[in-house]
Amino acid sequence: MNARRTWAVARKEFLHILRDPRSLVMALALPLLMLVLFGFALTLDIDRIPTIICDGDRTPESRDLISRFQGSRYFQIVSFVDDSRAIEDAINRNQCLLGIVILDDFAGHLLSGHEAQVQLLLDGSDSNTASIALGYARSLLQEHDVALRNETQNRRGAGSVSAAVRPSLRIWYNPDLKSKNYIVPGLIAVILMIIAALLTSLTIAREWEMGTMEQLISTPVRPAEIVLGKMAAFFALGAVDMIVAIVVGVGIFRVPLRGSILFLGITSGLFLTGALFWGILISTVARTQVLAYQLGAVTSFLPAFLLSGFVFSIANMPPVIQAVTHIFPARYYVAILTGVFLRGVGAQVLWSEAAFLLIYAVFVFLAATRKLKQKVA
């Protein structure tokens, strides 16, 4: 590497930014936009944990325990079910994080002075959130246990009282709560988004800057063929990155891959195609590579990292930010990755996420083709 040539390129790019007011405004607005995203979307506070309760006892004693969960700000009771298998289905569909199963002999054990078990069913896909939710649930059960002990002592008089409630813990999909089992699949989405959107966002803008787009337009090639042709080269690169990431995740980090590899490959291809088309759409809108790169970073990488649920739970974001996350494909792809890797589910559960990726790819392709036609005209 030659330092003089490197400095010459850096100086040229700096002068180009100063001469392009739009790029300069984007460079100044980007930190503000990041500050807003970090301020609203990022939070380490875990509350309003989606919880489903299965009360098999249906007694005043079980309802007293349920009322404690209902009165806690850390838990949000989304529904009551009659069968614990409904909790497993809800966890597979990302409808709850915690399931509480009260057995049918709960009150009988309490009244007879024996331990009464309460099952806690946790989704361990997000190990950090699951660990915090487990701590909250155990703390609440311990408080309820102390209250029952005191009540029993008041009835019987002084003396030791054995534990009244003992939680029986089961953690699904990630029993050891290893964060890498959740982080590594999420990184695949971020890596594909970086390779796809940021690289393709420069391709057509570079053609316009270099003056070669006029030569390409003079050929019989149509705008749709230009978009597909440019996408194909980067798709091959993205596919290699995807395979390498999966092999490294499973082989080196020992992340379990329990679902269908075929379904994972198809949905990854859909996500990669949509991200590539989005980068090309940005490239047709922007006239400079600097502006195209900045737009690509703001509209692809940052949402994939912050608003996809990869690092920070979407359920803990403000309602407005939660609504915004629905328009970003990374949210659905991260759900597919965690579902296939950790839960072993496939198209029967994740078909809606896969359908969104397909619709998104087609929509962005049509938008990029139409915008390129306007540029050519």
Range of the domain at 206: 179-376
pLDDT at residue 81, rounded to an integer:
92
Token code pair at residue 245: 């990431």
Check pLDDT > 50 for residue 293: yes
pLDDT at residue 167, rounded to an integer:
65
User: Are 351 and 267 contained in the same domain?
Assistant: yes
User: Are 270 and 329 contained in the same domain?
Assistant: yes
Token code pair at residue 145: 């246990």
Token code pair at residue 299: 């509209």
Name which of 278, 289, 273 is nearest 213 in CA terms: 289
Task: Answer yes or no: is 36 within a domain.
Answer: no
Token code pair at residue 98: 């915690």
Q: Report the alpha-carbon distance of residue 253 to residue 114 in Å, rounded.
A: 44
Quick check: helix, strand or coil at residue 333? helix
Q: Report the alpha-carbon distance of residue 323 to residue 326 in Å, rounded.
A: 6
Token code pair at residue 369: 């083709």
Task: Answer yes or no: is 6 within a domain.
Answer: no
* Averaged confidence pLDDT in the chain: 78
Task: Answer yes or no: is 43 within a domain.
Answer: no
Task: Answer yes or no: is 87 within a domain.
Answer: yes
- Residue ending a domain, choose from 141, 172, 203: 172
| 193-241 pLDDT per residue, tens | 877 777 777 776 776 777 766 666 666 667 777 777 777 777 777 788 7
pLDDT at residue 249, rounded to an integer:
81
User: Are 188 and 320 contained in the same domain?
Assistant: yes
User: Are 187 and 106 contained in the same domain?
Assistant: no
| 54-106 pLDDT per residue, tens | 998 888 888 999 999 998 888 999 999 988 889 989 988 888 899 999 988 88
User: Are 315 and 190 contained in the same domain?
Assistant: yes
- Residue ending a domain, choose from 126, 156, 172: 172
User: Are 211 and 268 contained in the same domain?
Assistant: yes
User: Are 119 and 190 contained in the same domain?
Assistant: no
User: Are 166 and 209 contained in the same domain?
Assistant: no
pLDDT at residue 215, rounded to an integer:
65
Check pLDDT > 90 for residue 52: yes
Looking at the 3D structure of the chain, how many domains does it have? Answer: 2
pLDDT at residue 31, rounded to an integer:
47
Task: Answer yes or no: is 361 within a domain.
Answer: yes
User: Are 58 and 87 contained in the same domain?
Assistant: yes
Element containing residue 119 per DSSP (H, E): strand 116-123
Quick check: helix, strand or coil at residue 51? strand
Q: Report the alpha-carbon distance of residue 94 to residue 337 in Å, rounded.
A: 13
pLDDT at residue 5, rounded to an integer:
40
Q: Which whole number is the average pLDDT over 282-294?
A: 79
pLDDT at residue 12, rounded to an integer:
46
Return the beta strands (E) in 153-301 as ranges. 165-172
User: Are 154 and 188 contained in the same domain?
Assistant: no
For residues 228 and 136, which has the higher predicted lDDT (pLDDT)? 136
User: Are 233 and 350 contained in the same domain?
Assistant: yes
pLDDT at residue 8, rounded to an integer:
45
- Residue ending a domain, choose from 111, 142, 172: 172
User: Are 244 and 109 contained in the same domain?
Assistant: no
Task: Answer yes or no: is 249 within a domain.
Answer: yes
| 334-345 pLDDT per residue, tens | 999 988 988 888
Share of the chain above pLDDT 70, in %: 77
Task: Answer yes or no: is 92 within a domain.
Answer: yes
Task: Answer yes or no: is 278 within a domain.
Answer: yes
